[in-house]
Amino acid sequence: MSSTARSVRLDVNGFFSHMIGSYGFDGHDLDGVVPRLSAAVADLDAKRRSGALPFYDLPYDSAAIAACNALASELRAEFDTLVVLGIGGSALGTKAVLEGVPAASLAGGMRVIVADNIDPASFSRLLDGTAGVDLSRTAFNVISKSGGTAETLAQFLIAREKLMAHPSVGAARWARHIVVTTDPVSGPLRALAKAEGFRSLPVPAGVGGRFSVLSSVGLLPLAAGGVDIEALCAGARHADTLCCVADPRENPAALHAGLLFLALRERGCGIHVLMPYSDGLLRLAEWYAQLWAESLGKAHALDGSLVETGQTPVRALGATDQHSQVQLYVEGPRDKVVTFVRVEAHDGELTIPAAYGDKEEISYLGGLRLGDLLNMEQRATELALAESGRPTSVLTLSRCDAASIGHLFHLFEVQTLVMGALLGIDPLDQPGVEAGKLLTYGMAGRNGYAADAERVRAMLARKRDDLVLG
């Protein structure tokens, strides 16, 4: 059995009536959705074979993995810090892995900072040296699939000017500090990479942002940061062997999607909470939130009809949110399904010292491992939800490492496509995001977007002063 085998297990007991009572499903409910799940899995398989879903092949692309490792070695030899400039799918996967893997596994990697927002307070702190970044030793990986995202281009322009003005970089050397990851042929960043002679990597055609973490988008910065990207891809490949199984009852991506769909349609669970019991996996929950929200939240079905569908992803953190959100999950509206992510062997395990033997309310903790206590808390929350008839599932990782995170990436990506098929929408587009981009172009004065700017002005003009207080 390979090292990745059974490193991630999905437990869906918590959807069924034998665990949560009458609110749960029975075999008959699942039978009802199985034909649609089977059709969705077969359709994905056909599309994949025709080349229409290239993200499936990313973890098998040994040439791309080698190219990322080679460029990462070059960058490590020249610089000590890599700043990723990118947003959404160009940033969230990298953050998820960097924070998810054990810190010790990054030894030998360079410092990688993902600057995915354009808040001037944090971006200026990053560039002015107060965050410990020395521009003469810093490379910038400008990542944008389209090459035209305003946030990323704005960051690039600011970084470029700072590099040009830096006494030990300057006009002669600044371009060496820029590495571009973008579409192989089109878009403004690709044109710039050619014109300026930047080092660059392609994002394969047909791979959208939120499905791109295992392309050069994620693999270059992760390799630079010391992540074993081969192990990350091996985890995804192992998940692929499970998630392409034709029988949906044996396919974790299909089964989970089917049950989440039933929870949405039959029980009104419009909210999917992903709750890792691991600080390092909170960023993975953020990556998942983008994937689930942007892929499934759609106004129109494939046939053009208005459906306004989706399931709102919420990220929560165990045990922290037991003292914040869980009261709502256990007793509030029955509109949520909670998926726990549980780690069996925690990194940096600590044993709680035995002390105060005469005080039972304290001494019972002595000798327990902190990670075991965290996992007990997960089971406690799972049971509290079960006893109040709320659906749950549990993803258990034997360890939180590159392979298990790669596994989760692939599992969640396929699960999202299957859910998209059940909802009858296109999970690969994002017209709502594009609409916001156009309005921003208009407000920023870009030629050709005057009508978008006018729509914003009209919105502001409609506002009534008596409804603005303070």
Residue ranges in 371-430 that form contacts with ligand PA5 under rule CB under 6 A: 430
Choices 60-68, 86-94, 334-342, 372-380 (CB under 6 A): range interacting with ligand PA5? 86-94
Residue 252 parent element (H or E): helix 252-267
Catalytic residue selected from 151, 294, 382, 413: 294
Residue ranges in 338-377 that form contacts with ligand PA5 under rule CB under 6 A: none
Residue ranges in 121-150 that form contacts with ligand PA5 under rule CB under 6 A: 144-146, 149
> Using the rule CB under 6 A, which residue among 209, 218, 276, 427 binds ligand PA5?
209
Locate tokens 């299909």: which residue? Answer: 254
Q: Which residues pair with 220 in a beta bridge?
A: none
In the chain, the amino acid numbered 295 is S
Please report whether residue 181 would count as binding ligand PA5 according to CB under 6 A. no
Helices 92-100 and 282-296: angle between axes, nearest 10 degrees: 150
Choices 6-14, 38-46, 203-211, 296-304 (CB under 6 A): range interacting with ligand PA5? 203-211
What is d(CA 459, CA 470) in angstroms, rounded to the nearest whole number? Answer: 21
Residues 284-303 vs ligand PA5: string with x where CB under 6 A?
----------x---------
Minimum gap (Å) between residue 197 Cβ and ligand PA5: 22
DSSP 351: B
DSSP 163: H
> Using the rule CB under 6 A, which residue among 90, 375, 378, 381 binds ligand PA5?
90
What is d(CA 439, CA 449) in angstroms, rounded to the nearest whole number? Answer: 8
Catalytic residue selected from 18, 28, 308, 323: 323
Q: Which residues pair with 82 in a beta bridge?
A: 112, 139
> Using the rule CB under 6 A, which residue among 14, 59, 204, 208 binds ligand PA5?
208
Give the nearer residue to ligand PA5 in terms of CB position, either 174 or 292.
292
Residues 423-442 vs ligand PA5: string with x where CB under 6 A?
-------x--x---------
Residue of this chain nearest to ligand PA5 (CB atom): 209
Give the nearer residue to ligand PA5 in terms of CB position, either 151 or 230.
151
Q: How big is the chain, counted in residues?
A: 470
What is d(CA 178, CA 199) in angstroms, rounded to the nearest whole number? Answer: 7
Contact 272, 339 (CB under 8 A): yes
Give the nearer residue to ligand PA5 in terms of CB position, either 165 or 433.
433
- From first CA to last CA, the distance across the chain in angstroms is 65
What is d(CA 416, CA 425) in angstroms, rounded to the nearest whole number? Answer: 11
Burial class (CB in 10 A: 0-12, 13-18, 19+), 303: exposed
Number of residues that bind ligand PA5 (CB under 6 A): 15
Please report whether residue 215 would count as binding ligand PA5 according to CB under 6 A. no
**Phi and psi at residue 208, to the nearest 5°:** -80, 160
Six token digits for residue 194: 């050619």
Give the nearer residue to ligand PA5 in terms of CB position, either 55 or 340.
55
In the chain, the amino acid numbered 260 is L
Please report whether residue 87 would count as binding ligand PA5 according to CB under 6 A. yes
Contact 436, 87 (CB under 8 A): no
Minimum gap (Å) between residue 268 Cβ and ligand PA5: 28
Contact 319, 277 (CB under 8 A): yes
Minimum gap (Å) between residue 180 Cβ and ligand PA5: 12
The three state secondary structure string of 120-169 is: HHHHHHHHCCCCCCCHHHEEEEEEECCCCCHHHHHHHHHHHHHHHHCCCC
Q: Which residues pair with 276 in a beta bridge?
A: 341
Give the nearer residue to ligand PA5 in terms of CB position, either 210 or 237.
210
Give the nearer residue to ligand PA5 in terms of CB position, either 58 or 259.
58
Residues 36-75 vs ligand PA5: string with x where CB under 6 A?
----------------------------------------
Residue ranges in 216-235 that form contacts with ligand PA5 under rule CB under 6 A: none
What is d(CA 382, CA 390) in angstroms, rounded to the nearest whole number? Answer: 9
Locate tokens 């690039």: which residue? Answer: 156
> Using the rule CB under 6 A, which residue among 7, 138, 152, 251 binds ligand PA5?
152
Burial class (CB in 10 A: 0-12, 13-18, 19+), 358: exposed
Question: Quick check: is 300 catalytic?
Answer: no
Question: Quick check: is 323 catalytic?
Answer: yes
Choices 82-90, 163-171, 377-385, 406-414 (CB under 6 A): range interacting with ligand PA5? 82-90
Positions marked catalytic: 294, 323, 437
**Which residue ranges make up the site for ligand PA5 (CB under 6 A)?**
87-90, 144-146, 149, 152, 208-210, 294, 430, 433
